[in-house]
Structure 1
Amino acid sequence: MINQIAISGFRSLRDITIELERLTVVTGANGSGKSSLYRSLRLLADVAQGRVIRSLAEDGGLQSTLWAGPESFGREVKAGRHAVEGTRRKGPISLKLGFAGDDFGYAIDLGLPLPSSSMFSLDPEIKSETVWMGSAPTRSSIMAERRGPSVRIRGETGAWRQAFQTLAPVDSMMTHCAEPTEAPELFVLRERMREWRFYEHFRTDREAAARRPQIGTHTPVLASDGADLAAAVQTILEIGGADDLREAVSDAFPGAEIEIDEAGGYFELRMRQHGLLRSLKAAELSDGTLRYLLLIAALLSPRPPELMILNEPESSLHPDLLPSLARLMAKASARSQIILVSHAPELITALEENASIKRIRLAKDFGETLAEEEDPARWTWPPR
């Protein structure tokens, strides 16, 4: 389980460390930084996929995503006796992301490139990366580290091995140095990060792929856009928890059942409801009903991830469905660690009735996102 996540220099997250539990709920007013927290977690996952540089470039580059305020706030500013002003920086301009669990920790530091004639001005550079064993990086716990273009990895005997001397500033050691024999800790951590799953704003409009027949193959993991819903449901029925699926559907829609039609290799989801003479195709279901079925397929995956992050799953759902969703999420948290980003009090209250949760409320102070009522967690950033 991941115990801590740390973000520094990303949008309104000037410097924040959050303690996590098995089921963590992040809430707060609009504009408090919930989306920034969710986006920063996606960036961490993008490191393992080799996409973090492109993802930042698509957001407008590092300059557009960096914390826009001063490096720090003095007491006079906090007390309202002095205006917020820029000061001479003590540290380098950087975006830092990290997490730590019971066994592994990882941190990455991205910075601005040196002035050059290159047209790739939106590409930030990876300045440093560190992987360690345990909860904090120490001289004895660090297993792999990257400083600029140089990467070294600690072997079984404790001796360091030079893995790279000229790693490009846009390439991560997670993708270029993770080998099952030469760097097993790095390899295991990368594969675990690649299995993190993010679900937000499933498409349920008339043209949504989930409403149309799709080629069916074994689908133990629902796609992030839910396009393979029918195949994911059939996979649960055949190799997953068929009884759990039927129970989840019945809990939300009493008397209803879902079934999958197959024609020429194409799968189509249908829903049979009490009182109707025929089953309804996915194309005929309401947006809320289809969205809830997508959540069922995600949360009952036959291949549960180590970490699942849900961003406002209550969108388009009728309030009557939120208690059922809470029960479904509580059951899923026994198999996966879950981070829920939500501002639906009904859903959060229902979750508290069904599981032990940790609630983190975000708020803004001088433009900075802070976790209310949270004691500052201890976190040490590895040096560049």
Structure 2
Amino acid sequence: MLRSLLPTGAKDMIITLAVSGYRSLCDIVLPLSRLTVITGANGTGKSSLYRSLRLLGDIAQGRAIASLAKEGGLTSTLWAGPEQLSRAMKAGEGAITGTQRSKRVGLKLGFASNDYGYAVDLGLPSVVSAFAHDPEIKTESVWAGEYLRRNNVFAERRGPGVRIRSDNGAWDQVKTTLPPFDSMMTHAADPRSAPELLDLRDRMRGWRFYDQLRTDRDAPARKQQVGTRTPVLAGDGADMAAAVQTIFEIGDQQAFHRMVADAFPDSTVEVRVRDGIFTLHMRQRGLLRPLSTAELSDGTLRYLLLVAALMTPRPPSLMVLNEPETSLHPNLIAPLARLISHTSQNTQIVVVSHNQALADALHGDDTLTHRLEKDTGETVVCEAEPVGWAWPKR
């Protein structure tokens, strides 16, 4: 029954992202494309939008509470402005003051693909505890299709209870005592009773985020490493040599070399292996010997790390890059854009960057650019068209 509700098309591509009550993101709904660029000046909310996507991925991993704790707990991440910003407040004609709240305080995150949609509502603890900064998951909902409707929800959680819609359309109660700090994505997904929920969870667990590719002098990528088959580059780039060798053996080696040569003409990359220890070297025109990663500049190493990440032989459904242009010379922006555009043919990519040259270079029929601005402390999207979205009720 559920399969009949699913539209055809690129089912695993996220087409809508929704965030409410997170830092400067008071209430924002964005359409996403095969390649989406989030840009804007410093302090406009780009990092918050990146973190909200990462929080959604952490929920599927069972790490959302720990991730929020690193940011100071739920109360430190909630929208700090008034519940309603009047027209006079926005125009600077009146003082910005709080009023008695009419809605429950919470952080809401959600997304929709062509086949599935998911939303979660995180709120303040309902009982006194030493873990007062840990949020509680109040509601979760998974539905078929792009928009949440009354008749297309097939899994929902309210408080400690989780119910799944069976093939005959009836609701089956599968959990009654789910702790408020656990998600139904990690505790109710079952190959027999909830295969769609399991499919969505595994998809979210496969999302990749790169924002900490280190290039400093002590960066792990500059050191020799014991190598094992590595189809997915680590978040800090520690296993770059093994990841590149894996691309050479089971990935698109020719495309990898083309992307390197596009940025560094007449240069090649090779991996040397001795007694299980992997080292990456770069041959450059005019030099009598190849340079090891310990000798490369920060920008050169970072570009090679991005090639290793993006040319993965195991592409995910979603890859998110936060400020990928860091440390890169302006001459590398155009090759980076071509690298990202090439990868977006097989993987949905979201790029978060304040670099205007990169944003301008990333263009095409499948590219969507959102420019963020601040309006009275609230992040807004310039010239954004309204996108339909409904949150599950508590």
- State whether TM-score is above 0.5: yes
Aligned residues: 382
Runs of 4+ in 1 over 6 A off after TM superposition: none
What amino acid maps onto 1:359 in structure 2? T
The Cα of 1:77 is off from its aligned counterpart by: 2.2
Correspondence for 1:358: 368
1:237 aligns with 2:245: no
Q: How does 1:1-384 map to 2 (within 5 A)?
A: 1-116=13-128, 118-352=129-363, 356-384=366-394
| Structure 1: distance between partners of 2:191 and 2:312 | 27
1:71-128 deviations in Å (ceiling 9; x for gaps): 1112332343321111111110000000001000000000000241x21122110000
What amino acid maps onto 2:378 in structure 1? E
Are 1:201 and 1:315, in contact at CA under 8 Å, matched by a contact in 2?
no
Are 1:260 and 1:268, in contact at CA under 8 Å, matched by a contact in 2?
yes
Are 2:90 and 2:375, in contact at CA under 8 Å, matched by a contact in 1?
no
Q: Would the alpha carbon gap of residues 218 and 10 (structure 1) be closer, same or farther in structure 2, given more than 3 Å must change?
A: same
What percentage of residue pairs aligned between the two structures are identical?
Answer: 60
Are 1:26 and 1:342, in contact at CA under 8 Å, matched by a contact in 2?
yes
Does the residue aligned with 1:45 lie in a helix, a strand or coil? helix
Are 2:117 and 2:145, in contact at CA under 8 Å, matched by a contact in 1?
yes
- Structure 1 unmatched ranges of 5 or more: none
| Structure 2: distance between partners of 1:316 and 1:79 | 39
Does the residue aligned with 1:378 lie in a helix, a strand or coil? coil
| Structure 2: distance between partners of 1:163 and 1:136 | 24
| Structure 2: distance between partners of 1:275 and 1:374 | 50
Give the TM-score taking structure 2 as reference length. Answer: 0.95
1:201-236 deviations in Å (ceiling 9; x for gaps): 411111111011111111111111111100110010
The Cα of 1:299 is off from its aligned counterpart by: 0.7
| Structure 2: distance between partners of 1:355 and 1:232 | 31
What amino acid maps onto 2:369 in structure 1? R
Q: Would the alpha carbon gap of residues 100 and 356 (structure 1) be closer, same or farther in structure 2, given more than 3 Å must change?
A: closer
1:177-200 deviations in Å (ceiling 9; x for gaps): 111111101000000000101011
What amino acid maps onto 2:89 in structure 1? V
Are 1:143 and 1:153, in contact at CA under 8 Å, matched by a contact in 2?
yes
Does the residue aligned with 1:329 lie in a helix, a strand or coil? helix
RMSD, matched Cα? 1.0
| Structure 2: distance between partners of 1:297 and 1:265 | 20
| Structure 1: distance between partners of 2:376 and 2:357 | 30
| Structure 1: distance between partners of 2:71 and 2:333 | 33
What amino acid maps onto 2:393 in structure 1? P
